[in-house]
Amino acid sequence: MITLGLEGTAHTTSASVLDEKKIYSMESRTFRPAKGGINPREAANFHFENVVDVIRKAISQSGFSSGDIQLIGFSKGPGLPPSLKITAVAARALALKLNIPIVGVNHPLGHIEIGRRETGSVDPVMLYVSGGNTQIIAHRKGRYRVLGETLDIGIGNLLDKIARDMGYAFPGGPEIEKLAKGGEKLLNLPYSVNGMDCSFSGIYTAAKNHLQKGERKEDVAYSVQEISFAMLVETLERALYTSGKGEMLLAGGVARNNRLKEMIGIMAQEAGVDVFETPEKYCMDNGAMIGQAAILTYEKFGGQKIEDTAIDQMYRIDEVDAPWVNEVHIKYRNMGAESTITEGKFHDYLTVTKERTRKSYRNTELDSDIREKRMKNEITCLYRMMNAGINVPAVFSMDRDALRFEMERIEGIQISNMESLNGQVIEEIAQAVSTLHQNNIVHGDLTLNNIIIRDGVLYFLDPSMGKVTVNKTEMAYDLRLLKESIISVYGIDPYREMEELYISYGEKCREVVMELNDMEKRRRYV
């Protein structure tokens, strides 16, 4: 089906003509402000002035005429509303004029589908990194699920803001990459990982302070890349093991950064998985990716009514059915994003020895600091959780120098591997999580993979990213991880039941849920 794909979510207006076998043409133009970041109205004016000519050139270069076009796909969201509106109006007008079907598609869906098409990746975990978007996405049960994402600004936005403070124009990522090659000193910046989520605003504030204190631009750029990219690779590796996928796919403008690709390549080699890089010309926003998503969507669901093509600036990929993906899972043995596990015995007890393994992709100084902190966190949180009445493995021995400790092996079923979540298990999860939070304990990686049921009893594992805190926002992060984990495996209804029970355990739990709701409203996109 000869398709015209139109992209226009932010700074780029792009059109492409393609079908299932070939991409015939692609024409793109990018708005580049003289200074500062992207002004939505200025970007929209740029789209308005260029979109018609971009479409004409794409059709002309394809060798087809407008009368040959059989389907129009356009980016429905997420994005900047003024830019989205211009693209949507152009798509609707052309669809009505040519009397052909129209499909509004999700922008991140386009990135993953053009990546799969061009690389041959079948069922990957995708790291999608751009100016406004930072997400880790994997397919499960008919939809792409967001396993992790930024909790504030996108990684590209971080790089652009720091570059702007250094006096460089948009886009700033390439300038930061150049400067980082001359960096030598790793500056103190916050390493902010919550399960498979990241936070970058603290890095920006700290980096800006370093600049104001006179630190070299090269060292600031080097430190920002080393620390923020290490966070991305860690969460990507955790998503890999959590989802059981055997492939990784890189997409988005920041995916072109050579240091990021190098770090992911090292991680992939150590994990024994394949990593696919979306070709550079398709990493940036483009019409071909929208056209590819439109073709797949139309094949399964047909076209849309004009009244159903309204833009959605907060359109999430996990709202979109994608039944065309054939899922492929592999078994990882004794591996995790941060540790290697070996089994043994301590007197009459079955045990596991957990060793915080060196991560070659991370700066040596950073890696040592993270490993030591994580082991101390885990021991402390296990002790606090046990005293609060939560079932956890008993710790038998610890080797501080080797960053290794031995604990009770809990033989049971991961909650993520059960056929369904029954009411009793849901109630026990709600009660246990409320007990954690009422005792000011944050687990830090609260997913169903870290909850095991043995002989009808729930055990909580791996609180290495946990902490003791009265901060309700951090408790909301905890609950968010559990929410995403439950939804990705069992759907929304079991989570709603769990949340209602969690709230019933006290005012503090109600406040945490309110904080979670506020946090989700602040989710940031382009």
3-state secondary structure of 203: helix
- Cβ contacts of residue 303 below 8 Å, gap of 6+? 71, 101, 102, 103
Could you give the CA distance from residue 276 to residue 204 in angstroms, rounded to a whole number? 29
Could you give the CA distance from residue 232 to residue 193 in angstroms, rounded to a whole number? 9
Q: How many residues does the chain have?
A: 526
Could you give the CA distance from residue 461 to residue 480 in angstroms, rounded to a whole number? 17
Residues paired with residue 252 on neighbouring β-strands, in sequence order: none
Which one-letter amino acid corresponds to residue 249? L
- Cβ contacts of residue 17 below 8 Å, gap of 6+? 2, 3, 4, 5, 23, 24, 25, 58, 59, 61, 62, 64, 69, 291
Could you give the CA distance from residue 478 to residue 151 in angstroms, rounded to a whole number? 13
How would you classify the pairing of strands 404-408 and 413-414?
A: unpaired
- Name the residues annotated as catalytic: 445
Q: Which of 255, 250, 226 is nearest to 240 (CA)?
A: 250
Contact of 61 with 27, CB cutoff 8 Å = yes
Q: Burial, 402: exposed, middle or buried (Cβ in 10 Å; 0-12, 13-18, 19+)?
A: exposed
Quote the tokens at residue 225.
């890349």
Q: State the Rg of the chain over Cα.
A: 24
Could you give the CA distance from residue 237 to residue 338 in angstroms, rounded to a whole number? 9
Q: Cα angle at 468 between 239 and 382, to 5 degrees?
A: 70
Q: Token pair 């990929």 is at which residue?
A: 317
